[in-house]
Amino acid sequence: MSAQQVDSAPPATAPVEVQQPAAPQQTGQAQATPAAPDAQPGHITGTVVDTYGDVVVGATVVLDDGTITDQRSVDSDDNGFFQFAGVRPGVSYHVTIRGKDFADWKSQEMVVKPGEFATVTGIQLKLSEASTSVTVYGDNLQIATEQIQVAEKQRVLGFIPNFYVVYDAQNAVPLPAKLKFKLAFRVAVDPVSFAAAAFLGTVDQASDSPNYPQGWGGFGERVGARYADGFTDIMFGGAILPALLHQDPRYYYQGTGTTSSRLKHALAYPFICKGDNGKLQPNYSTIGGDLISAGLSNLYYPPSNRGVGLVFTNLAIGTAERGLSTVLQEFVLRRLTPGSRKTN
């Protein structure tokens, strides 16, 4: 009996050739690899400042990927801050910033990761050549008038007068007597000056000083005395004496150099000023204005608050306050004065 043999080996099949993906061609620059379509978008943020470290408000910030498919812009806010949300991960972007009176600034290539908050660093806007130069025309009166018009727009936090500071010392010209009086009177009648007198009068009323009576009558006398102190000080120290002695009543902001040199510059102002001839000289105007104002206070302060002691006490207080004010001008107030970003 013969048995049939069963071949259990599988039938032979043709070999399958697996195609390997072609290697990408090498280019001179690495290509950013876009993330998966469902990847979480990122954010790009930053703060716009100038070369002094002051924030730049209202600058136009443009984000683009080099094509017209993703280009958008925002304006920097009151703190110089900007943000772009919904940024595609793995895509190369550039940030371009344009500000009035500043040269354009452009970032290096940026690629964000999914969900990343990327910050643009190194932003420092430089003044454009057109804004850092002054076209000399007409006479000094015309130039000084325009510079005072700009200075009158300088307000700390947008409402407190900051008119007596020169931020563009290189291009400043001497003030004629007419403009010295105009600037002083502008400060004296500013609503903030009346509000300050009312506030200080309220403090004096609460502390029962000077020795006016209590009640509304005494309150009115205290407010009036405070306003008279400020009015006589600004008119004598900021206009009358500077006009007679040919001195500049303004503080010249330094802004550069070491902290020590800037501090010395600020503290020296109550004692040293710039003359109309451009040379440094003893600040007779400021010291004399404080002294005359303190002396005139003997005419309206109560008899118990008069005398030579009051005069020199008020002089010392006025000088100390002025030194503190100029230190704040040098290190703090420019950041809080939007109008200071314009040349004056």
- The C-alpha angle 320, 322, 327, rounded to 5 degrees, equals 100
Q: Is the pLDDT of residue 146 over 80?
A: yes
294-328 tens-digit pLDDT: 999 999 999 998 998 888 888 888 889 899 999 99
Residue type (1 letter), 55? V
Cβ atoms 328, 335 nearer than 8 A: no
Residue type (1 letter), 242? P
Domain boundaries of the chain, sorted by first residue: 42-119, 134-341
Q: Is the pLDDT of residue 25 over 50?
A: no
Distance CA 82, CA 74 (A): 7
Q: Residue 139 has what pLDDT? A: 67
Distance CA 332, CA 344 (A): 19
217-269 tens-digit pLDDT: 999 999 999 999 999 999 999 999 999 999 999 999 999 889 999 999 999 99
CA neighbours closer than 13 Å in the CB half-sphere of residue 60: 12
Q: Does domain 42-119 bear CATH number 2.60.40.10?
A: yes
Q: Please indicate whether residue 57 or residue 340 has the higher confidence score (pLDDT).
A: 57
Tokens of 105: 């600034």
Tokens of 68: 């017209």
3-state percent helix, strand, coil for the chain, nearest multiple of 5:
40, 15, 45
Length of the chain: 344
Q: Which long-range contacts (CB under 8 A, 24 or more apart) does 94-97 make?
A: 94/63, 94/64, 94/65, 94/66, 95/44, 95/46, 95/61, 95/62, 95/63, 95/120, 96/61, 96/62, 96/64, 97/48, 97/59, 97/60, 97/61, 97/62, 97/123, 97/125
Q: Is the pLDDT of residue 344 over 60?
A: no
Cβ atoms 68, 102 nearer than 8 A: no
Task: Compute CA distances 240 → 190, 213, 278, whole Å.
Answer: 19, 34, 19
The closest alpha carbon to 326, from 250, 275, 274, belongs to 250
